[in-house]
Amino acid sequence: MDVIPAIDLLDGRCVRLYQGDYEQSQVFNDDPVAVARQWAEQGATRLHLVDLDGAKAGHPVNQAVIREIVQAVDVPVEVGGGLRDRDSVAELLSLGVRWAILGTVAVEQPQLVEALCQEFPSQIIVGIDARNGKVATRGWLETSEVEAVTLAQQMQGFGAAAIIYTDIHRDGTLQGPNQDALRELVGALSIPVIASGGVSSTRDLFKLLVLEPQGVTGVIIGKALYTGDLTIKDATRAVGQGRWQDIPPDFGSSVIA
């Protein structure tokens, strides 16, 4: 299982939101490029970037910072936020970004996602951000009536490389992942699922490892890395290079059932 540090960009700075609320943002660093270098130097093998300004505006905003980050690190980068047309995706990938993450358009323009999956095979990831099982759009400012599992199955059929699932109620809270929702999602899919939201401890990672054989292949960690609740080294050790069999025997069957 991959441990993927998150870098959320707002006004050119590295921030974390609480449950997706732009009014509850906390600035952790004024230099996102330095943060990216730090995570890479500490052993991250992949980075997750979100253009929060872009998600809110409906078009990419932080391309200059994203370009600097891609040039500054030797690990692949995935980016989401405001990618709602073909040209925005093409421009982003031209910067050297490995994967473009599509969110709002998966609900509002699913045919565009299908076309992009065909044009950029293996480079399109669909981000599904959910409140109570329903998909949120437009920077989490709106909630649709679309079920997360239904959308994920449709995107799998279109050729999406993976699904990133974020439980908005857990994001930025350090309360642990929504294991029930993830179990339902991976049970309905055959493509990789990357979990996001709420991870704060190695215990949370062990909960995800139980789902790893079914399809949870990565975990995005944000606030816990910035607060020091987790380090990349400890998180990587906890997931045991992706070997779910390495879960400690005393972890507790009642927790992982």
> Count of H helices and E strands in the chain?
12, 12
More confident position, 20 or 110: 110
Confidence band, pLDDT 50/70/90 cuts, at residue 252: very low
User: In angstroms, what is the C-alpha Rg of the chain?
Assistant: 17
Question: Which of these, 46, 47, 1, lies nearest to 217 by C-alpha position?
Answer: 1
Q: Where are the alpha helices (DSSP H) in the chain?
A: 32-41, 52-57, 63-72, 86-94, 104-108, 110-119, 148-158, 179-188, 202-209, 223-227, 232-239, 253-256
pLDDT of residue 247: 46
pLDDT of residue 214: 61
pLDDT of residue 137: 74
pLDDT of residue 161: 97
pLDDT-wise least confident of 79-83, 142-146, 170-174, 196-200 = 170-174
From the candidates 11, 85, 87, 129, give the one annotated as an active-site residue: 129
Segment 130-184, tens digit of pLDDT: 887 788 876 555 677 789 999 999 999 999 999 999 887 655 556 677 888 898 9
Give percent of the chain with pLDDT exceeding 70: 83
Q: Is 2-240 a CATH 1.10.10.60 domain?
A: no
Q: Which residues, other chains included, contact 54 with Cβ-Cβ below 8 Å and sequence gap of 6+?
A: 60, 61, 62, 81, 82, 83
- Active site includes 129? yes
pLDDT at 100 over 90: yes
Handedness of CA 220, 28, 41, 99 (dihedral sign): positive
Question: Beta strands 2-10 and 13-18: pairing type?
Answer: antiparallel
